[in-house]
């Protein structure tokens, strides 16, 4: 296993900074109605980002689509991210399945990085298995996952809720974040670590960030203007 350390303390995200970046993130989410909220644990005041959304999955693949397109993603998922309410969801046709995804972003003091926890279940409450989760990973990440599934997504206990969640392993986060951050700082751009990190790891598990997050800068934060 290789987990090369940057060596510089700069690239480690301090908990205080984590909270600041999350605050900025939530503000923008609220402006564009992206559905993220900040939750705190009752006793010690630890907090985390949380978002729930629904995805529709096609169970039957139309034959012409199979021929035209060997894109695995279309065979597995039609990503329809909407805030469906319960009545709309029930009206979805029988060959489609609705899956409820819940994403949490927590802070790991051991690795000093954010960690993405998520869980998914069908509307009847049946949770997706690890296998189903692996199969639903975006096509371009599948190869990496197949190399070492145990290194990437596994089921773990949520450290604040005590319930089973799936987790994207944090020990490699510093590797890819270091190179991106160096570039960004050289250009003197305000960088929100959380937005940068989530835009990289989120898509692996079906979580996409609208592009407007990328436009966040310090001046927008203080003026509170809508983007």
Contacts for 32 with CB less than 8 Å, ≥ 6 apart: 210, 212, 227
> Is residue 93 flagged as an active site residue?
no
- If one asks whether residue 95 binds other proteins (CB under 8 A), the answer comes out as no
Interface residue with other proteins, options 171, 185, 189, 226 (CB under 8 A): 171
Tally of CB atoms within 10 A around 98: 16
Q: Shortest approach of other proteins to residue 197 CB, angstroms?
A: 18
Interface residue with other proteins, options 23, 68, 157, 176 (CB under 8 A): 157
Q: How far is CA 18 from CA 23, 26, 91, 112, 147, in A?
A: 9, 12, 40, 9, 31
Q: Shortest approach of other proteins to residue 123 CB, angstroms?
A: 15
- Cα(18)–Cα(194) distance, rounded to whole angstroms? 7
Of 28-36, 104-112, 186-194, 203-211, the segment contacting other proteins by CB under 8 A is: 104-112
Within 173-202, the residues that bind other proteins by CB under 8 A are none
Q: Which of 185, 210, 188, 189 is nearest to 199 (CA)?
A: 210
Of 36-44, 82-90, 196-204, 216-224, the segment contacting other proteins by CB under 8 A is: 36-44
Q: Which of 155, 194, 156 is nearest to 21 (CA)?
A: 194
- Cα(77)–Cα(65) distance, rounded to whole angstroms? 13
Count of residues of this chain found to bind other proteins when the rule CB under 8 A is applied: 28
Binding region for other proteins (CB under 8 A) = 1-3, 5, 41-44, 109-111, 127, 129-130, 150, 154-164, 169, 171
């Amino acid at each position: 296993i290789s987990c090369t350390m940057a060596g510089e303390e700069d690239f480690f995200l301090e908990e205080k900074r984590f909270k600041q970046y999350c605050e900025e993130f939530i503000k923008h989410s609220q402006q564009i109605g992206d559905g993220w909220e900040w939750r705190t644990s009752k006793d010690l005041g630890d907090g985390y980002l949380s978002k729930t959304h629904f995805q529709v999955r096609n169970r039957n693949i139309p034959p012409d689509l199979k021929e035209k397109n060997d894109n695995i993603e279309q065979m597995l998922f039609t990503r329809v991210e909407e805030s469906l309410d319960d009545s709309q969801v029930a009206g979805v046709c029988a060959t489609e399945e609705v899956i409820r995804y819940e994403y949490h972003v927590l802070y790991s003091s051991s690795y000093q990085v954010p960690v993405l926890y998520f869980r998914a279940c069908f509307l009847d409450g049946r949770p997706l298995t690890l296998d189903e989760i692996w199969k639903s990973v975006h096509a371009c990440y599948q190869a990496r996952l197949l190399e070492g599934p145990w290194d990437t997504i596994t089921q773990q206990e949520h450290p604040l809720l005590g319930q089973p969640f799936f987790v994207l392993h944090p020990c490699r986060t510093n590797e890819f974040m270091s190179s991106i951050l160096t570039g960004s700082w050289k250009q003197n751009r305000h960088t929100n670590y959380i937005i940068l990190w989530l835009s990289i790891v989120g898509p692996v598990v079906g979580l996409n960030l609208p592009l407007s997050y990328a436009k966040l800068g310090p001046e927008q934060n203080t003026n509170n203007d809508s983007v």
